[in-house]
Structure 1
Amino acid sequence: MKKILVLSFIISSFQLLSAQEAPTRKDTLQGGLRPERTCFDVLHYDLNIKINLEEKSIVGYNNISFKVVNTTSKIQLDLFANMQVDSIVFNAEKLNYKREFNAVFIDFPSPLTLKSEQSLKFYYSGKPIIAKNAPWDGGFTYSKDRNGKPWVAVSCEGIGASLWYPVKDSQSDEPDFGVTIKVAIPNGLMNVSNGRFIGSVPLEENGIKNGYTRWDWEVKNPINTYSITVNIGDYVHLHENYKGLDLDYYVLRDNEAAARMHFEEVKPMMDCFQSKFGKYPFADDGYKLVETPYLGMEHQSAVAYGNKYINGYLGSDRSGTGIGLLFDYITIHESGHEWFGNSITSKDSADMWIHEGFTTYTESVYIECQYGYDKAQQYINGCKLNIENLSPIIGTYGVNKEGSTDMYEKGAILLNTLRHILNNDDKWWKILLKYSETFRHKIIDTETVVSFFNTETGMNLTPVFNQYLKYAAIPKLELRKNKSKLEFRWKTEEAKFNMPVDIKIKGKKYRLYPTNSWKKTKYSVNKIQDVEVLTNDFYINVD
């Protein structure tokens, strides 16, 4: 069956390396961690730009504050090659730099002192890439609302934030103290960015107003660079405080009534997610949904929403069960990323399953909160129809290459399998809560995730993670009857694979502990068809 495209978000094939392509210098410059990147830790971005909507151009600067963690006289920042570096200023002097593809190597006149805090101002201009099919390809989307007013947004996960502003474009480093985003746009429109609105300023040139207003926003928390965003439109602002958390919605003027009703779903979602995953991770920056001309994206504290105020995924049910029509997929999935992807971030895009697998699991968690365990299990198992099992979930490290899009549903069903391996729901929810709280606002990798679950469950789950993440195929449970006794084993690529699995014989439930060698049970069966393997609890094939 043809795979349904899912958020957030699948990057178009031209942006990713195919499995057959060898990494290029450009790939390693974008995805790698060389000394010019690891020598400094970003503290804060202060982005100040003007967007000309008619020219589809940007001019401005990013003031980048950073701490020196290794003595150096050269650092790497990033800005797409189609954008112009106007100047880079440090201590009132222009710095020399060299461009190589999208990388900008900046030379300082003398080595920067270890542990010192520094800042530079990176001036730039140009016309950023325009997305052809946002959000599945990156770039700006220029659209019009029903009244003919401009409606503009950007999405850049995967392709890189440096497509529209100068930045250390690596998931391994988020600004410790957040970002200030100042965006000047034509009068009569509003820009909505991440964090809190801190004011708007009419701009002047030579004492005369120039027709632009600058909209200022501030993020206090660390933030993924691809989450930093602009949204320009004729917006109406809806606000309420729910149990101490500010909920803000910025919607097109004609959609105010629909939004007021439709976004009521946010309240039970927040109740559910905060009970399962802990306090909303960015409460001091607030929670926002911002209507966008594309389907959606997990922009931190400014979640992009474009699902047209209908349930499902543009009105369809990705699980094929009907349960997916009980909620708005974009609201739930993209908000789930606030915990998994925005708060907990993978160090390398090869480990994006840490974002997408956990977030896709939040969909069934929400269903379980609202409608119970059985419907949640029905939904998550229905989503198997979107899994291909053709390539591994984990991608290639150091070259900005994600793995298979199976990271979404297969990653979620891996977690559902772990839940049933543990076979103790009270413990499972405590572990998931502890995971979310332990790595809150942290950047981690797969090894860290596996180690955590091994420790908290008291089990060696490494072979399980390896099989589901590093290989295309899922485990196959082989069953046979030897005389009247049932025999069983696992067939896997992962060596020494062991994972318990539950079966039923004549309605009675048993737990087996297969390995890669045949084992014999004490259970008698008349025919092998009398054995029911609980494949809704364990994502496996059976032979």
Structure 2
Amino acid sequence: MKIFGALFLLLSFALTVNAQTITRRDSLQGGLRSERTSFDVQRYDLNITVNPDKRYISGYNNITFKVIESTKRIQLDLFENMQVDSIIYDTKKLVYKRDNDAIFITFPKELKKGNTEKVRFYYSGTPIVARNAPWDGGFVFSKDNQGKPWVGVAVQGTGASLWYPVKDHQTDEPDNGATIKVAVPNGLMNVSNGRFTGSEDLGNGYTRWDWEVKNPINNYDITVNIADYAHIHDNLNGLDLDYYILKDNEEKARKHFEEVKPMIECFEAKFGKYPFYEDGYKLVETPYLGMEHQSAVAYGNNYKKGYRGMDLSYSGIGMLFDFITIHESGHEWFGNSITSTDVADMWIHEGFTTYSETVYVECRYGYDKAMKYINGQRRNVQNDKPVIGIFGVNREGSSDMYYKGALMLNTIRHIVNDDDKWWAMLLNFSNTYKKQIINGENVVTFFNRESGINLTPIFEQYLNYTNIPVLQLRMNNGSPEYRWETDVKNFIMPVDIITHKNEVRLNGTNNWQAIDVKAKSLKDIEALKNRFYIKVEKL
């Protein structure tokens, strides 16, 4: 997840994306052609050396895959600034053709449907360095307070193929996990996803650190973190909690990360068991702000409450917890466990995860503070363009996927108007699609079915249009009337109002309807906007 905090960053990002045009490179990265759909990745086995001083990577990735449709040609991906050294299949070098970042590989004979095959992809080069991670993808080469190398990487949206050869599309995660073996200069450690399985001094000034992931994992979640780390271990009801932090920060980290346990307990109660028990839970200190790297969550908030010491909700509630710890960990359920098929549907990751912040607040501090927190986030919504992006070209929609997405979910909660039912739905959603790749239609269909309400027009209005529903109120011959003004036709959504201290639920449509209350003027009617993300116009 690329965190959008300060509003000027939100706006500059939106303007940059709007200025872009769709290129062949975008289509090659975001599209699904036969060279991609003909095979299903089973696992990645990375074995690389990282030279921090030269900012250089070399090594290979063993890519094991199952043939879905017989083929002689497949597409893998590696950024064109990186060198393809050779691609080996059955001890022989394969012929390949580069097209932008796509690598089209031709096999000497047809690969038969149902077979399991493996290629070893040797590569090397100087990966792109991020200017401002995690907002732009790339490596971060930094130094700790002792002058030792401190290296991290964040590539969501940009593409995992920025630094290793991969089938770079969200629809295909390695079903059987991955190994990440990274050699770094002696005196440093590499921390990657999953479980630590051992280290080996290679006798050449480098030590290789080996990690294994048991679960399917997003391509962009696979990570390296290189530093002279200290290690803190803890446990919560059988779940291993591990923190890798710079040695200068060990004492403060022990205290600061105490909020991890109540966070995990809250999220497990609301979203189900932590999805990756086999791989454990880690926070790894990084030289950039944060990223949801599965089972190795990147942490760079400098042990502050809020977001870099600021409250993104402008409510005061955001200073009660560390934004990066809570938000990035929420992605373990939404984004890492439940993954969208296309980045155009990244609201599935970001809307639900931003909502998880409010869920955490409610677990710890109660409903009223939760509503204060999420409604404070309204100020971050731009309503600049649709939340849903452009499919097939690796193009996200508006950054409103975060806060508008969360406010939409809060609205749906209050449409359901039954908290027991709402929490059961959210838990069932998380469990139903655990470790699965889904699209927006799957989400809408699920919530329609589980709620017993046609929520399709509501999802459509919030996700496909910049406008939010406008509740229009007027007096007609001394009686109050109301209707919804929306882009979606035949829009139906309930809303709660207060009049003379009485709460009334209205079942609004696009047509004017009478409000069955006594009101001398519209001043006597107040819509409960803390429950519904709407505008109100009194005509």
**TM-score when normalising by structure 2:** 0.97
TM-superposition CA deviations, 1:74-97 (whole Å, max 9, x none): 000000000000000001111000
Tell me which residue corresponds to 1:64. Answer: 63
Tell me which residue corresponds to 1:27. Answer: 26
**1:413 to 2:407 alignment:** yes
**1:183 to 2:182 alignment:** yes
Contact 1:340/1:358 (<8 A) preserved: yes
SS of corresponding position for 1:473: coil
Contact 2:14/2:399 (<8 A) preserved: no
TM-superposition CA deviations, 1:127-153 (whole Å, max 9, x none): 000111111111110111111111000
Contact 1:190/1:233 (<8 A) preserved: yes
Residue 240 (structure 1) shift: 1.3
SS of corresponding position for 2:517: strand
Tell me which residue corresponds to 2:340. Answer: 346
Tell me which residue corresponds to 1:272. Answer: 266
Counterparts of 1:18 and 1:392, CA distance in 2: 13
Q: Which amino acid aligns with 2:411?
A: T
Residue 20 (structure 1) shift: 5.7
Tell me which residue corresponds to 2:54. Answer: 55
TM-superposition CA deviations, 1:411-455 (whole Å, max 9, x none): 001000000000000000000000000000000010000000000
CA gap 1:329/1:14 in 2 versus in 1, 3 angstroms: closer
Contact 1:17/1:23 (<8 A) preserved: no
Counterparts of 1:333 and 1:19, CA distance in 2: 27
Counterparts of 1:50 and 1:289, CA distance in 2: 23
Q: Which amino acid aligns with 1:169?
A: D
Gaps of 5+ in 2: none
Tell me which residue corresponds to 2:529. Answer: 535
Residue 522 (structure 1) shift: 2.3
Counterparts of 1:285 and 1:15, CA distance in 2: 36
Contact 1:11/1:136 (<8 A) preserved: no
Tell me which residue corresponds to 2:44. Answer: 45
Tell me which residue corresponds to 1:112. Answer: 111
Which of 236, 239, 247 aligns to 2:230? It is: 236
Tell me which residue corresponds to 1:84. Answer: 83
Contact 2:497/2:505 (<8 A) preserved: yes
Which of 491, 504, 514 aligns to 1:510? It is: 504
Contact 1:194/1:300 (<8 A) preserved: yes
Counterparts of 1:73 and 1:374, CA distance in 2: 60
TM-superposition CA deviations, 1:348-403 (whole Å, max 9, x none): 00000000000000101001000000000000000111001111100000000000
TM-superposition CA deviations, 1:319-371 (whole Å, max 9, x none): 11110000000000000000000000000000000000000001010010000
Residue 484 (structure 1) shift: 2.5
SS of corresponding position for 1:241: strand
TM-superposition CA deviations, 1:55-111 (whole Å, max 9, x none): 100000000000001111100000000000000000111100000000000001111
**1:484 to 2:478 alignment:** yes
Counterparts of 1:5 and 1:496, CA distance in 2: 34
Residue 242 (structure 1) shift: 1.3
Residue 525 (structure 1) shift: 1.2
Tell me which residue corresponds to 1:282. Answer: 276
Contact 1:321/1:382 (<8 A) preserved: yes
Q: Which amino acid aligns with 1:94?
A: K
Q: Which amino acid aligns with 1:500?
A: P
Residue 524 (structure 1) shift: 2.5
TM-superposition CA deviations, 1:473-520 (whole Å, max 9, x none): 101011111122211111111111110001011110111111111112
Tell me which residue corresponds to 1:18. Answer: 17
Contact 1:16/1:401 (<8 A) preserved: no
**1:363 to 2:357 alignment:** yes
Counterparts of 1:468 and 1:260, CA distance in 2: 41
CA gap 1:15/1:390 in 2 versus in 1, 3 angstroms: closer
CA gap 1:27/1:15 in 2 versus in 1, 3 angstroms: farther
Q: Which amino acid aligns with 1:423?
A: N
CA gap 1:20/1:14 in 2 versus in 1, 3 angstroms: closer
Contact 1:319/1:382 (<8 A) preserved: yes
TM-superposition CA deviations, 1:204-258 (whole Å, max 9, x none): xxxxx21000000000000000000000001001001111110000000010100
Contact 1:16/1:402 (<8 A) preserved: no
Counterparts of 2:171 and 2:82, CA distance in 1: 24
Counterparts of 1:95 and 1:5, CA distance in 2: 43
Counterparts of 2:19 and 2:504, CA distance in 1: 44
Contact 2:338/2:349 (<8 A) preserved: yes
Contact 1:297/1:305 (<8 A) preserved: yes
Tell me which residue corresponds to 2:173. Answer: 174
**1:321 to 2:315 alignment:** yes
Tell me which residue corresponds to 1:140. Answer: 139
Residue 21 (structure 1) shift: 4.5
**1:401 to 2:395 alignment:** yes
Contact 1:161/1:169 (<8 A) preserved: yes
SS of corresponding position for 2:358: helix
Tell me which residue corresponds to 2:383. Answer: 389
Contact 1:481/1:525 (<8 A) preserved: no
Matches within 5 A, 1:92-131: 92-131=91-130
SS of corresponding position for 1:397: coil
SS of corresponding position for 1:367: helix
State the aligned residue count: 533
Contact 2:189/2:227 (<8 A) preserved: yes
Counterparts of 1:183 and 1:494, CA distance in 2: 52
Q: Which amino acid aligns with 1:70?
A: E
Q: Structure 1 residues 183-192 or 14-23, which shifts more?
A: 14-23
Counterparts of 1:22 and 1:239, CA distance in 2: 47
CA gap 1:93/1:199 in 2 versus in 1, 3 angstroms: same
Matches within 5 A, 1:165-314: 165-203=164-202, 209-314=203-308
Contact 1:290/1:302 (<8 A) preserved: yes
**1:521 to 2:531 alignment:** no
Residue 313 (structure 1) shift: 0.4
CA gap 1:328/1:269 in 2 versus in 1, 3 angstroms: same
TM-superposition CA deviations, 1:280-302 (whole Å, max 9, x none): 00000000000000010000000
Contact 1:15/1:159 (<8 A) preserved: no
Q: CA RMSD in A?
A: 1.4
Counterparts of 1:179 and 1:38, CA distance in 2: 20
Gaps of 5+ in 1: 204-208
Counterparts of 1:484 and 1:327, CA distance in 2: 49
CA gap 1:529/1:16 in 2 versus in 1, 3 angstroms: closer
Contact 2:14/2:398 (<8 A) preserved: no
CA gap 1:12/1:121 in 2 versus in 1, 3 angstroms: farther
Counterparts of 2:516 and 2:255, CA distance in 1: 58
Tell me which residue corresponds to 1:206. Answer: none
Tell me which residue corresponds to 1:495. Answer: 489
